[in-house]
Amino acid sequence: MIEKPFLLDPSFADLIDSGAFRQRVYDKFSGMKTHDLFVLSFAMNIPVIITAILGALIDRQFFLGTAIFGGVVGVVILISVVEHFVARDKRRRMHRLAFEGELVTGHIIACERKCYRGASYKVEVQYAATAPSGKEVKWTQAMERDDLLNAPLPPPGWPVLVLMVDETLFFML
């Protein structure tokens, strides 16, 4: 009997055969996308534009207040843009993992139920997998899995699926 690999995130179960899991990995870990940043910037500027027009038409002091408000909003937008460029490296790494990574079979070293401070119940999996270079990597991942609260956890040696580029860039599904 072939053992079905344990998935820490069960939402990947129906996506593995089709390859759609790659887009889900990217969406889950890449953070804010460029489109979201532009929409956010535009939405944040709508009140500034409306108030500036009304301020110029109605009252000059109101216009001064609008200019100050616009400056504050501009700083917020600047912070968003800087965050975008800082997070760009993370998005590149996640794109590389999601779309260039190989799906390899690893195995569970240990699997435990944990309750972290201020969080709900999680399943923590220590696993090992062999990178394409031949080097074995070991790592620990945890995820909320309330569905496994009263279910048996997989024993050591049970197979897991790991999306892996190299020994520094990998993720257990």
Residues 87-103: tens digit of each pLDDT: 777 888 888 888 998 99
Examine the domain organization and report whether 43 and 88 are in the same domain: yes
Examine the domain organization and report whether 93 and 105 are in the same domain: no
Examine the domain organization and report whether 93 and 107 are in the same domain: no
Q: Is the distance from CB of 142 to CB of 125 less than 8 angstroms?
A: yes
Residue type, 34: T
Boundary-marking domain end, from 97, 116, 132: 97
Counted domains in the chain: 2
Examine the domain organization and report whether 124 and 85 are in the same domain: no
In a domain, 23, yes or no: no
Using alpha carbons only, give the angle 140, 143, 149 rounded to the nearest 5 degrees.
Answer: 115
Examine the domain organization and report whether 51 and 110 are in the same domain: no
Closest CA to 51 of 67, 39, 73, 75: 67
Kindly report the pTM of this predicted structure.
Answer: 0.69
Q: pLDDT tens-digit profile of 105-159?
A: 999 999 998 887 766 788 999 999 999 889 999 999 999 888 888 889 999 999 9
